[in-house]
Amino acid sequence: MLDPRLLRAFVAIVDSGSFTRAAERLHMTQSTISQQLARLEDAAGHALIDRAARPVLPTPQGERLLGYARRILALQQEAAAALGDPSGTSSIRLGLPEDIFNPEMCGIFRDFTRQFPQIRLDVTVGLSRELMRRYRAAELDIVVVKEPAPDSDCRAHFTEAMAWFESALLPRDWQDPVPLVVFPPGGLYRDAMFARIERERRRWYVAFSGSSLPSVILGVEGGLGITLLPVAAVSGARLRRCDSFGGEPAMVVSIYSWESAGSIGRLIGEMTGLLSERHRRSLAAAGR
């Protein structure tokens, strides 16, 4: 199935005769519209644009597809109009780590959907590496991810204070081997924990693996072991800093988006503001 978003990019390139003008028309970057055309060409199995021509022109296969593309886009518009009520007829696909998808972020989403009732927010909550993989594959429109360092195309990024935590209810002397409470394989915090404890030349074992942030916090509260978490994520939990490993390097919270104009730009701005405030609170908590 040919994605209408990709067809729209293809038609804009043909109509404008230029990747740059097509990107301006669709409020995208030139790299984004080039990537969308490449995905369409991969799906079609043919080159669709003669990039060497000035202005750029469709190839013979592109000419054959062009009429169908216009009809598909026109039918999409007709179908949306035929539904009458536009509420929820378009979507923004977001990916967020579990601790970022909190009541404050939900408040931003609530206000956004009230202001733009025609837009549906499709939210995926998961591990940062998988979210980033899906974003790079254009399966998500906006992602917030945790990473060691931001890529050059991120919209904004903030450092995030990290610390080791233990139960505030059941004090223990953590002798070797050290029991760890971890997230599932593939998690950034899990790998950082293993790397740090190996550098310390300490023996360790996984005492408990939780599938969610609440389950990991509960495992630590219950005295099953120690864990590495963002300082901002443990507010209200019955945890305290664990001094076994001292300080931990900060990670980065980054926000990425394929587009930045219109309603998506408004949403990115609100999300960035919340992440900035979260960063400020994290610094204050880390300094205590």
| Boundaries of every domain in the chain | 4-82, 90-155+252-286, 160-249
In this predicted structure, the answer to whether residue 286 has a pLDDT above a threshold of 90 is no
Cβ contacts of residue 112 below 8 Å, gap of 6+?
Answer: 119, 121, 263, 266, 267, 270
Q: How far is CA 51 from the centre of its chain?
A: 32
Burial label, 108 (beta-carbon count in 10 A; 0-12, 13-18, 19+): middle
What distance in Å separates the CA atoms of residue 24 and residue 104, rounded to the nearest whole number?
Answer: 33
- CATH-assigned architecture of domain 160-249: 3-Layer(aba) Sandwich (3.40)
Better-predicted residue by pLDDT, 284 or 277: 277
Cβ contacts of residue 116 below 8 Å, gap of 6+?
Answer: 263, 266
Task: Look at residue 83 in the predicted model and tell me its pLDDT.
Answer: 67
Say if 90-155+252-286 and 160-249 have the same CATH topology: yes
Q: What CATH number should be reported for the domain whose range is 4-82?
A: 1.10.10.10
Cβ contacts of residue 117 below 8 Å, gap of 6+?
Answer: 86, 87, 88
How many beta carbons lie within 10 A of that of residue 35, not counting itself? 17
The H or E element that residue 80 is part of is helix 60-82
Task: Look at residue 263 in the predicted model and tell me its pLDDT.
Answer: 86
Instruction: Say if residues 221 and 169 touch (Cβ distance below 8 Å).
Output: yes
pLDDT digits (tens, 9 = 90+) for 115-160: 988 889 999 999 899 999 999 999 999 999 999 889 999 999 999 8
| Topology given in CATH for the domain delimited by 90-155+252-286 | D-Maltodextrin-Binding Protein; domain 2 (3.40.190)
DSSP character for 57?
A: E
Q: CA angle at residue 40 from 36 to 45, to 5 degrees?
A: 145
| Residue 171 binned pLDDT confidence (cut-offs 50, 70, 90) | confident
Q: Write out the E strands in 197-283.
A: 204-209, 227-230, 239-241, 248-257
What distance in Å separates the CA atoms of residue 135 and residue 55, rounded to the nearest whole number?
Answer: 31
Bridge partners (DSSP) listed for residue 28: 259
Nearest to 76 by CA among 5, 157, 149: 5
Task: Look at residue 47 in the predicted model and tell me its pLDDT.
Answer: 93
What distance in Å separates the CA atoms of residue 97 and residue 250, rounded to the nearest whole number?
Answer: 17
pLDDT digits (tens, 9 = 90+) for 12-29: 999 999 999 999 988 888
